[in-house]
C-alpha cells in the first residue's frame, strides 16, 4: 500500500500522526533534505535561475554544462561526458543511437526499463544471453551491444561482473546503467566505469541518473570522446531541454559534501552489517547499502514495529513483492541499532 506524505522523505516520516523510521528510496547520501546541500543549491538558483530554456545546440552556450561534464569525466575516468535532464533520458539517448546505426542490441536479464526501448532484444537468463550473442556475431557485421545495470542486485554483475566475463567481450559494445553505483562504489564513489574498462570490451559507454546518491535531477553518459561527440550531434540530444544549470553548478560545488556523506554512509553500513545475525537472509552486494528480501510477513512485522522501507511489486503490479532495506547517510547510529534489534527478534 502506498503511503501519502506531505514532505520529502527523510530519516523519519510522519503518517497519520505516527512516526516511522524510513529505510527506503535511493537517497543513499541523504542529500535531498540536507541543509548544506540545499543552501548550495539555492545559491546557485540565485545565480543561474531555475531552468535553461534552450537547446544545448543553440548559438548561446552556458559554460556551466561543459565545466561540470569535464569534472565528471575526470572523476569517473572517461574521455568524455554528456549530461541530460534525467538518467532515463540519458539511457535512451545511448540505446536509440546504437539501434539507429543498425547494431543488434541485447538487454541482460533485469536490465532497467530505461534501456529496454523498442528494438531491444530481451533475455531471461545469462545462458540465453550468451546464446543470442553467439547467433548475432555469426550473422551481423556490426558489433552487438549489451545493455545491463551495473548494480542489478542479482549478484551476476557487480562487483566481479561474472555474467559478462563469459561473453566474447572484445567483439562487443557494453552499455552499463550505473545509476545505483555512481556516488557510492569505486574510488571515492566514482562508480563502475573503471571496473568495466578492465573487462576489455570493444567499446564501453556508461549512463546513469545523478538523482540517487548525488541528489541532482540530471543524467549523464560517459565514454570515449568520439562516441560522446556522436551522441551530442544527434537530434535526440539537440531536441531535449538540458538539466537545470543550478543543479549542474551544485554538483560541481558539492565535492567535499559528497566525500563527507559517503564516509558517514560507510560507517552506517559497517555498523549495520557487523550486527546482522543472518546476513545470508538478504540479497546483498558487498559494500552496497541495500538489503533485499521477499518475505511479506517480515515486511508487515517491520512496519508494525515502526519501520518503512522500499516495499512494492516490481517491475509491475504482476511482479513479486520486493522489499529492500536501504541505508542512508541521514541515518543515525541509533536508527541503525533500532533496525538490527528489530531484525534480530524477527528473523527466523
Q: What rounded mean pLDDT belongs to the chain?
A: 95
Q: Is the pLDDT of residue 131 over 70?
A: yes
In this structure, the strands spanning 219-223 and 12-15 are unpaired
Q: Domain 35-253 - what CATH class?
A: alpha beta
User: By C-alpha distance, which of 255, 274, 233 is closest to 101?
Assistant: 233
Distance CA 179, CA 122 (A): 20
In this structure, the strands spanning 219-223 and 203-209 are antiparallel
Q: Is the pLDDT of residue 316 over 80?
A: no
Name the DSSP letter for residue 20: E
Q: Which of 48-57, 84-93, 280-289, 311-320 has the lowest mean pLDDT?
A: 311-320
Residues 6+ apart with CB under 8 A from 279: 273
Q: How confident is the model at residue 274 (pLDDT cuts 50, 70, 90)?
A: very high
CATH number assigned to the domain with residue range 12-31+256-346, chosen from the 4 options 3.90.1150.10, 3.40.630.30, 3.40.50.1100, 3.40.50.720: 3.90.1150.10
Query: Tell me, what's the pLDDT at 154?
Result: 79
Mean pLDDT value of segment 289-309: 94
Partners of 205 in beta bridges = 175
Q: How confident is the model at residue 1 (pLDDT cuts 50, 70, 90)?
A: low
Q: Is the pLDDT of residue 264 over 90?
A: yes
Q: Is the pLDDT of residue 320 over 80?
A: no
User: By C-alpha distance, which of 88, 116, 98 is closest to 172?
Assistant: 98
Q: Are 204 and 174 in contact (CB under 8 A)?
A: yes
Quick one: which H or E segment has residue 136? helix 126-139
The residue with cell 531484525 is: 343
Query: Tell me, what's the pLDDT at 108?
Result: 97
Residue ranges covered by each domain of the chain: 12-31+256-346, 35-253
Indicate the pTM of the whole model.
Answer: 0.95
User: What is the arrangement of strands in the sheet containing 121-122, beginning at the earlier edge strand?
Assistant: 80-84, 219-223, 203-209, 173-177, 145-149, 105-107, 121-122
178-222 pLDDT tens trace: 999 999 999 999 999 999 999 999 999 999 999 999 999 999 999
163-178 pLDDT tens trace: 999 999 999 999 999 9
User: By C-alpha distance, which of 74, 262, 92 is closest to 184?
Assistant: 262
23-56 pLDDT tens trace: 999 999 999 999 999 999 999 999 999 999 899 9
Mean pLDDT value of segment 90-99: 98
In this structure, the strands spanning 290-293 and 203-209 are unpaired
Amino acid at each position: 500500500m502506498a503511503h501519502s506524505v506531505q514532505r520529502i522523505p527523510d530519516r523519519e516520516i510522519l503518517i497519520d500522526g505516527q512516526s516511522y523510521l524510513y529505510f527506503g528510496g535511493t537517497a543513499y547520501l541523504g542529500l535531498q533534505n540536507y541543509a548544506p546541500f540545499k543552501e548550495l543549491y539555492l545559491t546557485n538558483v540565485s545565480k543561474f535561475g531555475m531552468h535553461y530554456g534552450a537547446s544545448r545546440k543553440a548559438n548561446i552556450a552556458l559554460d556551466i554544462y561543459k565545466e561540470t561534464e569535464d569534472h565528471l569525466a575526470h572523476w569517473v575516468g572517461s574521455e568524455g561526458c554528456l549530461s541530460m535532464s534525467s538518467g532515463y533520458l540519458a539511457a535512451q539517448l545511448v540505446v536509440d543511437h546504437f539501434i539507429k546505426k543498425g547494431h543488434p542490441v541485447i538487454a541482460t536479464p533485469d536490465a532497467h526499463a530505461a534501456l529496454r526501448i523498442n528494438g531491444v532484444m530481451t533475455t531471461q537468463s545469462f545462458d540465453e544471453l550468451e546464446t543470442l550473442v553467439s547467433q548475432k556475431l555469426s550473422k551481423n557485421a556490426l558489433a552487438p551491444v549489451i545493455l545491463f545495470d551495473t548494480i542489478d542486485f542479482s549478484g551476476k554483475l557487480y562487483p566481479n561482473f561474472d555474467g559478462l566475463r563469459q561473453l566474447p567481450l572484445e567483439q562487443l559494445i557494453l552499455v552499463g546503467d550505473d545509476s545505483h553505483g555512481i556516488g557510492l562504489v569505486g574510488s571515492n564513489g566514482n562508480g563502475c566505469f573503471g571496473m568495466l574498462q578492465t573487462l576489455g570490451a570493444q567499446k564501453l559507454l556508461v549512463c546513469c541518473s545523478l538523482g540517487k546518491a548525488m541528489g541532482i535531477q540530471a543524467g549523464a553518459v560517459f565514454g570515449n570522446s568520439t562516441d560522446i561527440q556522436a551522441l551530442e550531434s544527434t537530434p535526440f540530444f539537440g531536441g531535449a531541454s538540458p538539466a537545470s544549470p543550478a543543479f549542474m553548478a551544485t554538483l560541481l560545488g558539492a565535492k567535499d559534501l559528497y566525500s563527507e556523506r559517503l564516509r558517514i554512509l560507510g560507517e552506517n553500513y559497517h555498523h549495520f552489517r557487523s550486527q546482522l545475525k543472518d546476513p545470508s537472509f538478504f540479497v546483498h552486494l558487498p559494500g552496497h547499502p541495500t538489503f533485499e528480501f521477499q518475505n511479506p510477513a517480515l515486511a508487515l512485522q517491520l512496519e508494525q514495529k515502526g519501520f518503512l522501507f522500499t516495499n512494492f511489486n516490481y517491475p509491475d503490479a504482476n511482479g513479486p513483492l520486493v522489499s529492500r532495506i536501504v541505508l542512508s547517510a541521514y541515518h543515525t547510529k541509533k536508527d541503525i541499532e533500532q533496525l538490527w534489534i528489530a531484525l534480530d527478534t524477527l528473523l527466523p
